[in-house]
Structure 1
Amino acid sequence: MSAKGKAVEQDGLFERLWNGTAAMEEWTASVSGGSARPVTDNIIAIHTGYLFGNATAIRTDAGLVLVDTGSRETASQTLAALRRWDDSPIHTVIYTHGHIDHTWGARLLDEEADAKGLARPRIIAHRNVLNRFDRYDRTQGLNSLVMGRQFNQPNYAFPQGHRRPDEVYDDTLALLIGGERIELFHGRGETDDATFVWLPQRRVLASGDFVIWVFPNAGNPRKVQRYAPDWAAALRRMQSLRPEVLIPGHGPVVFGEARAAELLGDGAEVLESLTRQTLDLMNAGSSLDQILHSVAAPAALLAKPYLKPRYDDPEFVVRGIWHLYAGWFDGNPAHLKPAPEAELAAELAALAGSADRLAARAAELADNGQTRLAAHLVELASAASPLDPAIQAKRATVYERCAAAETSLIGKAIFAVYQREAQARSGSIA
C-alpha cells in the first residue's frame, strides 16, 4: 500500500475511534512495530502502540528535535521509525515528563551518537525530572513490585541508570533551534514534572500525558500524588493556544482546531467537576467515605471515546483530590490509630461465629453483585484465619468477582493480585 493509501486508511480508523465504533486495540495493531504519522512536511509523530508513549520528531536546520524517546520495550522501534524518515543528527531531546515509557530511549540515542562520533543529544526537561530519577533510584524494588502487579508481570524489574537531562527549566522556556521556535510549558497533572510543547509557527501541540485517549490517570492507587485541579488548568492553557494539531502522549494524533479544542475542553471539564464536587463536600465537613459515595463524574463526558475510564477510575481521582487538600486522615476516628487488622478480624469473626461464616457470607454477597461489601468481609475472614484453604478459596472467588466488576485496568490488576495470592494459599495453584 502506498504512503497516501495508508494515510487514508489511518484517517478512516481515526474517524471510527473518534465516534466510538473502533477500539484502541485496533489502532495499536495498526502501528505495532513502529509507525511514523506525518504531521507537517517537517514533523512526524512516532507510535509503537497505545501502552507505550508517543514521540514527536521535528526537522530543523540545526538537526532533529525529538519530544520523548520511547520505552525500554519499544525504544528501538521508535528510533528505527525515526531513521526511516530522517538520518540527521539529533540536536535536542525534550522529555515531557520522567516516566520511563517516555525517557528510556534516550540511552539508545546516546549510543547511536557515540557510535557515529557525534555529540550526544542535549536533553531538556522540567527541574522535577531530576528529583523523580533520584526517587526512582531509591525505590527501585518498590517500583518493580508495583509495575509488575499493575501489568501482570510478576518478575518485572524496574529500570535503573536513568538518563538525566542536561538542562532544566522551571515554568516556561522558549527555544530557537535551526529556525524553529519551540516553547515549553510546565504543568502538574499525572506528574509534578510535566511539560507540554508548543510550536507557535505551526500551531502544533505535543501534550505529553496530559492527553492519553482515556480518562485522566490522576488517581492511580499505587503511585505518588497526582494533581487533578492542576491537570485541568494545564488543559485549559493548551486549549487557549488553539492548536490545529494535537499530538498526545498516548494514542493517535488529533487534526483540526475544533476537535483539539473539544478533547482538551472535555478533559478539563471532567477534572474540574470532580474537583469542585469534592471540595464542596470537604468544605461542608464531609468525610472521605461520604464523598466517595456522593461524587460522580458527568456521565456524558465519561461516554466520550477519549474519556472512558479504562485505565484509571474517577473514584480513585476523588481520593487523590482528598489527599491533595486534606492529607491521609479520612475523617473516621477509628482509622487515626487503628488496631492491627488481624486483631479486629479475630474479634469480628468471634462475634459472627467463625471466620468461615464471614467468608461464606462474603461469597454470597459477591454472587449477588455486592462486591464492595464482599471484599470487606472476605478480607476480615482472611486476616482472622490466613492459612485456612477453604477461606482462601472463597477469597479468590470474591476477588475474581471484584475484578470482573471493574472497568479500569488498575482496579482489575489490583484485585487480580490478591485473587492469585488467595489461590496460592488455597492450594489451587502452585
Structure 2
Amino acid sequence: MRLHALSAGLLVSLAAAPAQANPAPQPKSASPATAARQAEVAGALPAEDGRDADFAARGFIATRTDPLIVNAKGRQVWRSDAYAFVEGAAPATVNPSLWREMTHLKRSGLFKVADDVWQVRGFDVSNMTVVKGATGWIVIDPLTTRETAAAAMELVNAQLGQRPVSAVIYSHSHADHFGGVRGVIDEADAAARKVPILAPARFLEESASENIMAGAAMGRRANYQFGAGLFPGPTGQMGSGIGMGVAAGEITLIAPTDTIANTGETRTIDGVPLEFQIVSGSEAPSELNVYIAPAKAFLSAEMSTCSLHNILTPRGAKVRDTHAWAGYLDEALRLYGQRSDVVLSSHCWPRFGQAEVAGMLASQRDNYRYLHDQTVRLMNRGETMVEIAEDLKQPASLAAQWYNHGYYGTYSHNSKAVYQFYLGWYDANPANLNPWPPAERARKSVAAMGGAKKVLTLAKQAMGAGDYRWSSDLLSQAVFADPANLAARAMLADSFEQQGYQAESGIWRNQFLSAARDLREGYKAGATNTQSADLIAAVPTQLLLDSVATRFDPARFGGRKLAINLVMPERKETAGVELTGTTMIARMEPASNAGVTITAPRRLLLALLFLKLPLEQLEMGGLKIEGDRAAAQAWLDALDPLTAGFNIAEP
C-alpha cells in the first residue's frame, strides 16, 4: 500500500499507542466553517445505489468472537472492532465521504468471493485471499504480521475445515502483503513438503531494500501518514482510506521458491490453474496480479482498489509511473475484463459481475490517465506543480464512481507527483532556487508582516472566516520563527485539526491530526522502530554497508584515510571498507591495504554498525579485531546513531 515496499521499520502500530503520563489536550469540535463544508461535500456526493454496501457484505461467513488479537506476550496487536463506532450519519468532525467509506472498510471476517475463493478482511490494513486447492489452501498475501495472519488462518480452518497451506503467493514487495507468512506456514514444514512460494521477479531485492537508505526519514513521516498514536474515533484516526490501521506484531519473510517475470505466465498450483499479470512499477516496484481461472476471479492486488491510490506516498518513496499504471489497467481490461466474474484486491472489498469488473478497470484506467495527461498538459503550458494541483479537478463522470475518490491518494498530491516525475521539485522560478531555510525564512517573513502579534491577528481573522489553508500558512511561519510561541502553536493546531476533519483522504486526515497533536503535546520520540529479522537477513551486505555510509560524518573522523576489512565467516563474505577522507566506500571484496580487520558473524556486525553496541560487549560475543583498534573505534564514533525521530510541524 505504500505502505512502497514498507520495511518493518516503517510499519507503525495503531493498535497499541502509549499511554499519556498527563491528560492530553482534548480535540476541538468541528467549527461552523467545517460543519458547513461537510454539508457542502455531502450534497455533492454521488447518489447512493447500494452496490458498495452489497459488495462489502456479500459472502460473509463469520468472524472471530474475540476482536482482540495479541502476541505471545499478551500485548494487543490488533482490534477488529476498533471502528464499530462508525454507524449512522457522519459527525461534523469527519468528511461524510470518508465516513461512508469506513462503514464498508470496518467489516471484519471471512467472506466467500467465488467458488473455492475466500478472503479474510478487517484483520489488518490488507486482505488475505485463500484459494482451495486439491490438497490444501493457496494463500495470497498473508497480511502484515505473524499474529494477524495466524488469527486469519485459524478462522479459515475453523469455518472451512482444517487443511494445510499448499502454496503462498506474494503479490508485491510491500510488507503488508507478505509479513505474516510465518503465521500461516512454518518454513521447515514448507521445505519438507516442498510448498511453493511464488512472487514477482525482483521481489526479494525490492522488499528488503526500497526503504533502507531513507528508512529513518520514511519511518517518522509514516507516523503522520498512518496516524501512529491517534486513536480511532470521530475526532481521531479514521483508517487509512483503503483499510483500517496497520497491525502491530512481528513482520516475517520466507524467501520465494519461484518467481514470475512476464505477463501471461501460468502455473498450476495444487491443481488450480493460475495466470499472472506483471504490473511492476505501478503501485510497487515488484508486483503481480493473479487470474484464478476456475473461479473466473481476477485478483488485482493493489493496482485497482476502492480508492484513487498514491503516485507518491506522503511518507516518501520513489515516484510511481502514472502512465504505466494506466497502461497496466488497460492491459488487465483487455486480458481479463471479459472473462472475470469478480475483481478482488488486497485491500477493500470485491466487485461482482462481469460488467462491474470491466467497468471498474476501465474507469480507474481513465482516472489515472486523465490525471497523468492533464498534469503534463498544464505542465507544458508553464504551470507549476502547486498551480496544477489547484487547477486540476476530477471530471464529474469519474467522480460519479465512489472507487475513483481520493480516500488514499488525492488529485492534489498525485498531480504534484506527476510533475515531480518529469521535472523534479524546482519550478524554474529563480526565487525558489535558493530560498532561506524554513526557520530563517519564517523569522524574516514574520518581521516583514509586522511581528508575531500581527501574524496572530491575521491568522485569527482567517480562522474566523474558515480559511484554514491561509491561517495554517501564517501560523506555521509564526511557529517556525518562534517555537515557544504558545498562542501560535495552539491556533495552528486548531487550524490543522479542522483541515483534518474536512479531508476525504484518510491519510490526509491522519497527517493534519498528527501535526495538531505534536503542536499541543510536543513531539515525543519513541523507541527506535525495530527491523524485521527476516528482512534484515534478506538485505545484501553491500546495500547495508551503503546505508551505513549515509551515516558517516568524515569531519568527526578528522578527514583521515583508512581501509577496513569486515569478515563474515558464516556467509563466506568479506567486505572492504575504504575511508577516503571525505567518503566511505564499501566493496564486496577484501581491501588489500587494510589497517583494521573485524571478524564476526554478520548479526554482530549489524549490532556494531546499526545498534552501535560497544566493541567490548560484542567481543564477548565472539567479535574479533586485528590491527589499529583506536582507528576502528574512531570510525564507529563517526557514524551517526539511528534517529528516533524528528520534528515536523516545528523546527
The TM-score range, normalised by the shorter chain, is 0.7 to 0.9
Q: In 2, are the aligned partners of 1:244 and 1:256 still within 8 Å (CA)?
A: yes
Aligned position for 1:406: 503
Matches within 5 A, 1:374-413: 374-413=471-510
Query: How far apart, in 2, do the equivalents of 1:55 and 1:79 lie?
Result: 9
User: 1:307: Cα distance to partner?
Assistant: 2.2
- Classify the secondary structure of the residue corresponding to 1:46: strand
Residue 344 (structure 1) aligned to one of 441, 444, 450: 441
Matches within 5 A, 1:259-408: 259-408=356-505
Aligned position for 1:230: 324
Query: How far apart, in 1, do the equivalents of 2:261 and 2:382 lie?
Result: 36
Gap change, CA 1:346 and 1:23, over 3 Å in 2: closer
Aligned position for 2:616: none
Query: How far apart, in 1, do the equivalents of 2:415 and 2:366 lie?
Result: 15
Residue 209 (structure 1) aligned to one of 302, 312, 325: 302
Gap change, CA 1:223 and 1:350, over 3 Å in 2: closer
Q: In 2, are the aligned partners of 1:213 and 1:306 still within 8 Å (CA)?
A: yes
Name the TM-score, length of structure 1 as normaliser: 0.85
User: 1:211: Cα distance to partner?
Assistant: 2.2
Aligned position for 1:258: 355
Aligned position for 2:126: 53
Name the TM-score, length of structure 2 as normaliser: 0.58
Query: How far apart, in 2, do the equivalents of 1:78 and 1:354 lie?
Result: 58
Q: Which has the higher contact order (CA 8 A, sep 6+)?
A: 2
Aligned position for 2:514: 417
Aligned position for 1:94: 169
Q: In 1, are the aligned partners of 2:180 and 2:251 still within 8 Å (CA)?
A: no
RMSD of aligned alpha carbons: 3.1
Gap change, CA 1:373 and 1:27, over 3 Å in 2: closer
Structure 2: stretches of 5+ with no match in the other structure: 1-49, 59-96, 231-245, 524-651
Query: How far apart, in 1, do the equivalents of 2:190 and 2:138 lie?
Result: 18
Matched, 1:43 2:117: yes
Query: How far apart, in 1, do the equivalents of 2:261 and 2:284 lie?
Result: 14
Q: In 1, are the aligned partners of 2:456 and 2:475 still within 8 Å (CA)?
A: yes
Bigger shift: residues 120-129 or 352-361: 120-129
Gap change, CA 1:82 and 1:409, over 3 Å in 2: same
Deviations 1:99-150 (A, max 9, x none): 2222122121233x64799536422212343223223455554454333322
Q: In 1, are the aligned partners of 2:144 and 2:176 still within 8 Å (CA)?
A: yes
Aligned identity (percent) is 22
Q: In 1, are the aligned partners of 2:133 and 2:166 still within 8 Å (CA)?
A: no
Aligned position for 2:267: 175
Q: In 2, are the aligned partners of 1:403 and 1:411 still within 8 Å (CA)?
A: yes
Deviations 1:238-295 (A, max 9, x none): 2112221111222222221001111111111111111111011122232222212221
Aligned position for 2:82: none
Aligned position for 1:6: none
Query: How far apart, in 2, do the equivalents of 1:59 and 1:424 lie?
Result: 50
Aligned position for 1:70: 143
- Classify the secondary structure of the residue corresponding to 2:171: coil
- Classify the secondary structure of the residue corresponding to 1:210: coil
User: 1:411: Cα distance to partner?
Assistant: 1.3
- Classify the secondary structure of the residue corresponding to 2:166: strand
Matched, 1:25 2:102: yes
Query: How far apart, in 1, do the equivalents of 2:229 and 2:53 lie?
Result: 34
User: 1:381: Cα distance to partner?
Assistant: 1.1
Structure 1: stretches of 5+ with no match in the other structure: 1-9
More helix, by proportion: 1
Q: In 1, are the aligned partners of 2:225 and 2:511 still within 8 Å (CA)?
A: yes
Gap change, CA 1:159 and 1:360, over 3 Å in 2: farther
Residue 14 (structure 1) aligned to one of 54, 79, 86: 54
Query: How far apart, in 1, do the equivalents of 2:254 and 2:434 lie?
Result: 42
Gap change, CA 1:121 and 1:328, over 3 Å in 2: farther
Paired letter, 1:135: E
- Classify the secondary structure of the residue corresponding to 1:208: coil
Bigger shift: residues 352-361 or 51-60: 51-60
Paired letter, 2:262: D
Aligned position for 1:108: 183
Gap change, CA 1:161 and 1:266, over 3 Å in 2: same
Aligned position for 2:156: 82
- Classify the secondary structure of the residue corresponding to 1:93: strand
Query: How far apart, in 1, do the equivalents of 2:121 and 2:195 lie?
Result: 21
Query: How far apart, in 2, do the equivalents of 1:416 and 1:360 lie?
Result: 23
How many pairs were matched up? 411
Paired letter, 1:25: M
Gap change, CA 1:123 and 1:136, over 3 Å in 2: farther
Aligned position for 2:61: none
Query: How far apart, in 2, do the equivalents of 1:201 and 1:320 lie?
Result: 39
